[in-house]
Amino acid sequence: MELRKGDITKIKADAIVNAANSSLLGGGGVDGAIHRAGGPEILEECKQIRNRQGKCNTGEAVVTTAGNLPAKYVIHTVGPVWDNDEEKCSKLLANCYKNSLKLAESLHVKTVSFPNISTGVYRFPKELAAKIAVQEVSTFDSQLIENVIFVCFDDENEKIYKALLE
Ligand code: ADP
């Protein structure tokens, strides 16, 4: 596990995880940044997925091309909107990490980068979100994934991850 500070669209990885919303049709925050930097191909594939399976449920993950990003795939996962139900939200956020890692494993990738899912407009408490992220990655039983990069965009998350990973 590794910590990087900055914009996830600039960091090379085999698979970049996106904190998408259930519509899969793009949004603000990291989702907007990924679609802007990756180009229209990503949205095209998201639309095809929607036509096939409908919206993506919270905690689940789907994969598309990475378009122009320095990656092979984008894994779109839908984080929970924090509603003060700690048990339910924690479980759903853990599912995001688990299902993204499972999907990455099935794609035979070696490096996966994660943004701090749900800690933006979805208001998940950052400290708890980071604990869940590190817990799920460290307990995931992987044969193929060699490196997981936690990409922190804001100072607060960077500080929290630094302390957790030390
Ligand atoms: P959510 O709806 O899951 O909360 P957001 O995109 O609002 O998603 O925020 C998730 C996290 O992504 C936040 O911690 C935010 O600071 C971070 N973030 C925003 N833009 C980027 C980016 N370009 N690269 C990496 N992380 C980003």
Establish whether residue 117 lines the binding site of ligand 1, counting it when its CB lies within 6 angstroms of any ligand atom: yes
Interface TM-score (ipTM) > 0.95: yes
The model's pLDDT over 121-155, given as tens digits with 9 standing for 90+, comes to 999 999 999 999 999 999 999 999 999 999 999 99
3-state secondary structure of 21: coil
CATH of the domain at 116: 3.40.220.10
Establish whether residue 79 lines the binding site of ligand 1, counting it when its CB lies within 6 angstroms of any ligand atom: yes
The model's pLDDT over 81-131, given as tens digits with 9 standing for 90+, comes to 999 999 999 999 999 999 999 999 999 999 999 999 999 999 999 999 999
Distance CA 46, CA 34 (A): 13
Please give the model's pTM, rounded to 2 decimal places.
0.98
| The predicted structure's pLDDT at residue 118 | 98
Establish whether residue 96 lines the binding site of ligand 1, counting it when its CB lies within 6 angstroms of any ligand atom: no
CB atoms within 10 A of CB 95: 21
Domain total of the chain: 1
Which residue has its alpha carbon closest to ligand 1 atom 9?
120
Distance CA 66, CA 90 (A): 28
Which domain range does residue 13 map to?
Answer: 2-165
| The predicted structure's pLDDT at residue 117 | 98
